Chain A
């Protein structure tokens, strides 16, 4: 018997009379009573520490929303919901020559007539950039991550490489986005510019339906012309690819933890019933679905809000283009690029409006991802 560090069970008659509220007891039991009181105090302290910490989490979200809405209020009042569908983004007012219907400059007294455009802000280009780059990244990363997680749990232990492989992937999860950003900027982007971009161009450009991937329509001097998009390597495609690489390890390592927690009997049970290796893997995936949902959710959250690496390679152009080879901008990258330089006023409020949308979008992504994953895994079971 170990010395009693836990409270000694009280005598039956004390128990029947409600021992837990008893303060004074017979001398032989007084030390047990003190232990009990101390234990109850410890319980209460721990309980309240936990409650306060949990309440702080709620407070964090509330303060996030309140502060962002409050600071973005000038922009919200001025642009309203139209902010979401407007694609103009001018931080400063600009002057430009007025053109007539035929696109000719209007001259008066030998001078071109100028018009002044006020600053205007619309979030559609950055919403587009964020949504498309995150979607491409998830499409690439999730299948690879789940298959690697299954390998790490089901196969690697037999080959005695589970520890090493897990360590490598965990370490990759810990590599900061800045490192990926520097790597992407100095290594990936030049490779895409020199080799991958031209290669894809040679393959896909002749296909009639895919012209939009390599040409953009621009209005020059009142006329709309079609011109090839310069393949710089700093575009939506490179940004999506580095995003995919960056969310691989986090999705893999969390999925692996979840799958490893599936009881052995579950796997052995399916195998005993005649399931193939893959069918037993599906049973594992079903068993761990809530955790796997968390894993994918983490990956999506990281992709949608990823800032530094994307800022360095996505090209930072506030325009919508259907082509994956055009420079783009995400909500996070526009914040990183412009918030520091935004002077007081509408520009800063508009950026805070973008931040608010980014926050809302990440919330919606979380909910959708949750629904989708539960739905898909449930349908696998039938």
Chain B
């Protein structure tokens, strides 16, 4: 039994690593519960019906609500997704399904990776230079912060994320599915829409969901584009409110009543993300079941 000690060491090392892996998972979950638990605990005690329905009063002792900011975030995310999701998914399809064309796939994937690494504050500054400054010059007005500029900045963040996750998920679909479909006479478009995309639906939806969640919670890209507003407005051509901007203003400000609103705002933001997260997860699960059943 020459190898018995080595064998013992090998097994022991494996057990230790097992314990560390379990510990890692437990650590992340407990951090989550700690952070979310605290935010919810304080947030619930600050939340009120007025918070959801009223607009800011301008009175620091009785600051009103955040209806304007909730509407603003929903509109900004919808505008950004309208542009970002189709372009992102199509670009992801290109990266995954047209890999040999012109030998540009590698560089394009690299560019998409670089773009997902572009810090959100830089995107905000780009949005300022690209949308706010020229529009101001064109209309010869004061600095033209607008909801459109904010949505454009958010779409800029969304597109590369959706493209890369879509690509990664499409690549997980086995190659012989595609070959089988093509061999039965299906065209490339039919193969992509009826075989590849449905096979990766859950993953693609998760990617889109993560991207939407990310932009809904973004503050930095909006600081110099949408700017924020205390008014209830649904016109994206004006300086536009967002939940995150309003929370940031209140949390870093000096007034305790506004800080309470910031806590409540974060709770609302988290609740919105939770609902989106959960619903898309359920859709993905149902879709997976029907695919198996078909």
Q: Which of B158-194 contact A (CB under 8 A)?
A: 159-160, 163-164, 168, 172, 184-190, 192
Inter-chain contacts of A195 with B (CB < 8 A): none
Q: Which of A346-361 contact B (CB under 8 A)?
A: 351-352, 355, 358-359
Range of interface residues on B (Cβ < 8 Å): 35 or more
Inter-chain contacts of B188 with A (CB < 8 A): 43, 46-47
The stretch of B23-31, B49-57, B59-67, B229-237 in contact with A is B23-31
CA distance A359 to B124 in the complex (A): 13
Inter-chain contacts of A94 with B (CB < 8 A): none
**Cβ contact within 8 Å between B119 and A358:** yes
**Cβ contact within 8 Å between A57 and B24:** no
CA distance A351 to B24 in the complex (A): 39
Interchain Cβ contacts within 8 Å, total number:
296
Listed residue (B94, B216, B262, B273) with the most chain A CB atoms within 10 angstroms of its CB: B94
Inter-chain contacts of B1 with A (CB < 8 A): none
Q: Which of A139-192 contact B (CB under 8 A)?
A: 143-148, 150-152, 154-156, 165, 167-183, 185-187
CA distance A365 to B117 in the complex (A): 9
Inter-chain contacts of B97 with A (CB < 8 A): 50
CA distance A352 to B124 in the complex (A): 11
CA distance A148 to B38 in the complex (A): 23
**Cβ contact within 8 Å between B126 and A68:** yes
**Cβ contact within 8 Å between A307 and B28:** no
A30 within 8 A of B: no
B95 within 8 A of A: yes
**Cβ contact within 8 Å between A179 and B39:** yes
Inter-chain contacts of A148 with B (CB < 8 A): 21, 24-25, 27-28
Q: How far is the CB of A261 from chain B (nearest CB, A)?
A: 5
Q: Which of B231-280 contact A (CB under 8 A)?
A: 244, 247-248, 251-252, 262-263, 266, 269-270, 273-274, 276-278
Inter-chain contacts of B117 with A (CB < 8 A): 297-298, 300-301, 304-305, 362-363, 365-366
Range of interface residues on A (Cβ < 8 Å): 35 or more
**Cβ contact within 8 Å between B95 and A176:** no
**Cβ contact within 8 Å between B14 and A278:** yes
Q: Which of A282-306 contact B (CB under 8 A)?
A: 291, 294, 297-298, 300-301, 304-306
CA distance A352 to B28 in the complex (A): 36
B118 within 8 A of A: yes
| A144 in contact with B113 given A50-B90, A362-B118 (CB within 8 Å) | no
A229 within 8 A of B: no
Q: How far is the CB of B194 from chain A (nearest CB, A)?
A: 8
**Cβ contact within 8 Å between B24 and A147:** yes
**Cβ contact within 8 Å between B98 and A50:** yes
**Cβ contact within 8 Å between B168 and A291:** yes
Against A, the Cβ 8 Å flags (1 = close, 0 = not) of B80-104 are 0000001110110111011000001
CA distance A56 to B112 in the complex (A): 10
A273 within 8 A of B: no
Inter-chain contacts of A243 with B (CB < 8 A): none
**Cβ contact within 8 Å between A56 and B217:** no
From A47, A51, A339, B125 is in contact (CB under 8 Å) with A339
Q: Which of B127-152 contact A (CB under 8 A)?
A: 128-130
B287 within 8 A of A: no
CA distance A335 to B224 in the complex (A): 10
Q: Who on chain A is nearest to B276 by CB?
A: A174
A257 within 8 A of B: yes
CA distance A312 to B273 in the complex (A): 22
**Cβ contact within 8 Å between B189 and A43:** yes
From B159, B203, B281, A57 is in contact (CB under 8 Å) with B159
Q: How far is the CB of B89 from chain A (nearest CB, A)?
A: 8
CA distance A258 to B206 in the complex (A): 13
B289 within 8 A of A: no
CA distance A157 to B251 in the complex (A): 41
**Cβ contact within 8 Å between B187 and A43:** yes
A269 within 8 A of B: no
A71 within 8 A of B: yes
**Cβ contact within 8 Å between A305 and B203:** no
Q: Which of B104-125 contact A (CB under 8 A)?
A: 104, 107-108, 111-122, 125
CA distance A6 to B189 in the complex (A): 10
**Cβ contact within 8 Å between A53 and B94:** yes
Inter-chain contacts of B206 with A (CB < 8 A): 170, 257
A sample of 16 more A-B contacts (CB under 8 A), given A63-B130, A253-B210, A362-B114, is: A8-B185, A40-B187, A57-B160, A58-B107, A148-B28, A171-B32, A174-B276, A176-B219, A179-B39, A182-B263, A186-B251, A281-B17, A301-B116, A340-B223, A352-B125, A359-B122
The chain A residues found within 8 Å of chain B, CB to CB, are 5-9, 39-40, 42-43, 45-47, 49-54, 56-58, 60-61, 63-64, 67-68, 71, 143-148, 150-152, 154-156, 165, 167-183, 185-187, 245, 248-249, 252-253, 257-258, 261, 276-279, 281, 291, 294, 297-298, 300-301, 304-308, 312, 331-332, 335-336, 339-340, 351-352, 355, 358-359, 362-363, 365-366
A-B contact list, 6 entries, CB within 8 Å: A168-B32, A180-B35, A181-B248, A182-B247, A257-B203, A332-B121
